[in-house]
């Protein structure tokens, strides 16, 4: 008998319950379906780049296990039943994806298959908790992180990862597959992916290497250094998690068995970050419109400023004149990733300094991040903007100069991504406009020519943002 494994955002062979279940059958047909039209938001450019390479790696792995990956284009609700017929499969397995946009389609397909007498089963793996099942004492969902964490933390280690199958028997003859290159997931026209190629190794092997390197080299001191963007102190696992090349259970298992010299604080803080990912998915599963609507409805009346092309484009290109903001936005463009501290600073700058609606920033991140994630991106943007669940208080407006001086005191980060300021002394690096003329001249900086003047004045726009907040606060 034959089993189909429908791959989605779980591009791995290890800790893959669907694949493991299928491996018990006589023949296995793993399939990935490219959906040009989907009920969910289409992936952005950076994630498509990643997806291409990840699928290529997965294809090689499955081939070496014995059952090649089948690539198809179209609507899974039609294609999966058709594939069941053409292969004579008796079972279809998949791992649950928690994007609410897919819930109805996945449930309908399962129902349809089951009523045709086919075994259709879905498994957990992407998350450590079931986001719509976890309930508070009063029956609702968790809106605050700490109680959420307390509720799921004790169970985290009770889900040991599943082993990868050793071999998979193919269906003979192997069904004909489309060609990955024909899907045109890679950039056409200007090739913006050069920096991504240097920074990342998509695929399950790349994820494992990242994890091992992180545990050995970066976990010690993680608690302290994770906030310093100029050193590679965090795991860089987010794009691998976003594509399901590794699971949170695998990460926690490796953490538990790691004999690294990391302190309890380092380990606890890291686990809690994994917890923030869970919390974001918990929010999205219970508030499916999280990427579109203010979680807190009082923000529906917030007087956002219609973005002028100039302001939005200065932010996107990293040309705001605030070095830490510009370094972050350029890191994003060049590598498809941005350090968490700087994500907070750049998001705060867009929503509070420029007073541009957080949805504009969320969608730019969606397109440019290799780890763009429907839950973490939306939840984090709302958190920074002040409109989210358990959000940062609105009046906490990051001062980009002080943030730069505190977290990038030697300027390593800014010098790397804003090379035109590389010769500026530390004292003025985060506020070049304050430097005396001779210092600027010596550093080869001509403000307004080699590097922009600040697009806004911090104190002025800080007051403007606070006044705007006062308006909605008074109404609420
Ligand atoms: P590490 O510090 O090594 O953390 C390990 C893992 O924990 C991460 O891979 C991630 O899965 C999870 N994690 C860490 N911090 C957070 C957090 N604050 N929220 C949720 N999960 C977290 N993360 C995404 O994965 N996708 C996004 O689209 C995304 N958009 C963001 C947008 C904004 C405005 C902000 C402020 C944060 C966003 N984050 C997003 C969260 C966070 O910045 C990244 O998860 C983190 O920088 C990834 O780097 P890392 O893997 O080295 O993290």
439 C-alpha to ligand 1 centroid (Å):
37
Q: What is the mean pLDDT of residues 268-279?
A: 98
Q: Do 343 and 373 have their domain in common?
A: yes
Hey, which of 251, 371, 386, 413 would you mutate to test ligand 1's pocket, going by the most ligand atoms within 8 Å of its Cβ? 371
State pTM to two decimals: 0.98
Each residue of 6-16: pLDDT tens digit?
Answer: 999 999 999 99
Would you give the end-to-end CA distance of the chain in angstroms?
61
Q: Do 250 and 392 have their domain in common?
A: no
194, part of any domain: no
Each residue of 326-348: pLDDT tens digit?
Answer: 999 999 999 999 999 999 999 99
Q: Do 318 and 466 have their domain in common?
A: yes
Q: How confident is the model at residue 188 (pLDDT cuts 50, 70, 90)?
A: confident
Query: Residue 308: which domain range?
Result: 297-475
Q: Do 73 and 43 have their domain in common?
A: yes
221, part of any domain: yes
Q: Do 119 and 133 have their domain in common?
A: no
Q: Do 261 and 331 have their domain in common?
A: no
Each residue of 372-400: pLDDT tens digit?
Answer: 999 999 999 999 999 999 888 888 899 99
pLDDT of residue 396: 86
16, part of any domain: yes
Q: Do 310 and 254 have their domain in common?
A: no
Q: How confident is the model at residue 473 (pLDDT cuts 50, 70, 90)?
A: confident
Domain stops at, among 263, 286, 309: 286
Q: Do 316 and 277 have their domain in common?
A: no
Q: Do 354 and 446 have their domain in common?
A: yes
User: Which residues are identified as catalytic?
Assistant: 273, 276, 304, 340, 358, 381
Q: For position 22, which CATH number holds? A: 3.40.50.620
338 C-alpha to ligand 1 centroid (Å):
9
Each residue of 418-463: pLDDT tens digit?
Answer: 999 999 999 999 999 999 999 999 999 999 999 999 999 999 999 9
424, part of any domain: yes
Among protein residues, the one with the nearest Cα to ligand 1's atom 34 is 381
ipTM above 0.90?
A: yes
Q: Do 32 and 87 have their domain in common?
A: yes
142 C-alpha to ligand 1 centroid (Å):
19
Q: Do 265 and 346 have their domain in common?
A: no
Q: What is the mean pLDDT of residues 291-318?
A: 95
Ligand 1 pocket, Cβ-based, cut-off 6 angstroms = 226, 234-238, 241-242, 273-274, 276-277, 280, 340, 343-344, 347, 365, 369, 371-373, 376-377, 380-381, 384
185, part of any domain: no
Q: Do 78 and 145 have their domain in common?
A: no
Atom of ligand 1 lying closest to residue 238 CA:
9
226, part of any domain: yes
pLDDT of residue 475: 62
Backbone angles phi, psi at 420, to 5 degrees: -70, -10
């Amino acid at each position: 008998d034959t089993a189909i494994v429908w791959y989605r955002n779980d591009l791995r062979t290890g800790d893959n319950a669907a694949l493991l279940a299928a491996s018990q059958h006589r023949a296995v047909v793993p399939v990935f379906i490219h959906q040009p039209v989907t009920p969910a938001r289409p992936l952005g450019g950076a994630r498509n780049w990643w997806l291409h390479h990840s699928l290529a790696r997965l294809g090689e792995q499955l081939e070496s296990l014995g059952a090649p990956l089948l690539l198809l284009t179209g609507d899974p609700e039609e294609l999966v039943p058709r594939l069941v017929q053409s292969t004579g499969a008796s079972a279809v397995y998949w791992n649950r994806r928690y994007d609410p946009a897919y819930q109805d389609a996945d449930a309908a397909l399962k129902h349809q298959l089951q009523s045709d007498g086919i075994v259709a089963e879905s498994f957990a793996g992407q998350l450590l908790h079931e986001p719509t099942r976890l309930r508070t004492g009063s029956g609702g969902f968790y809106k605050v992180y700490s109680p959420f964490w307390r509720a799921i933390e004790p169970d985290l280690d009770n889900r040991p990862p599943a082993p990868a199958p050793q071999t998979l028997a193919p269906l003979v003859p192997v069904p004909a597959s489309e060609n990955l290159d024909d899907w045109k997931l890679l950039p056409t026209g200007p090739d913006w992916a050069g920096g991504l190629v240097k920074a990342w190794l998509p695929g399950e092997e790349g994820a494992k290497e990242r994890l091992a390197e992180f545990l050995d080299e970066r976990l010690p001191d993680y608690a302290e250094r994770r906030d310093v963007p100029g050193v590679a102190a965090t795991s860089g696992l987010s794009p691998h998690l976003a594509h399901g090349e590794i699971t949170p259970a695998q990460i926690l298992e490796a953490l538990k068995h790691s004999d690294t010299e990391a302190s309890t604080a380092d380990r606890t803080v890291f686990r809690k970050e994994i917890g923030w990912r869970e919390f974001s998915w918990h929010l999205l599963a219970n508030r499916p419109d999280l990427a579109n609507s203010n979680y807190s409805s009082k923000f529906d009346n917030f007087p956002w400023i219609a973005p002028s092309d100039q302001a939005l484009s200065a932010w996107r290109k990293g040309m705001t004149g605030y070095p830490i903001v510009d370094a972050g936005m350029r890191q994003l463009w060049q590598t498809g990733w941005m350090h968490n501290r700087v994500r907070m600073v750049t998001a705060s700058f867009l929503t509070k300094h420029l007073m541009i609606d957080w949805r504009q920033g969320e969608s730019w991140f969606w397109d440019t991040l290799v780890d763009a994630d429907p839950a973490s991106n939306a939840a984090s943007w709302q958190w920074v903007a002040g409109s989210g669940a358990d959000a940062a208080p609105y009046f906490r407006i990051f001062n980009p100069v002080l943030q730069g001086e505190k977290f990038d005191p030697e300027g390593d980060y800014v010098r790397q991504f804003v090379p035109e300021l590389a010769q500026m002394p530390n004292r003025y690096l985060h506020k070049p406009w304050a430097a005396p003329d001779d210092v600027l001249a010596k550093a080869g900086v001509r403000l307004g020519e080699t590097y922009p003047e600040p697009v806004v004045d911090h104190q002025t726009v800080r007051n403007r943002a606070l006044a705007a907040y006062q308006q909605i606060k008074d109404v609420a």
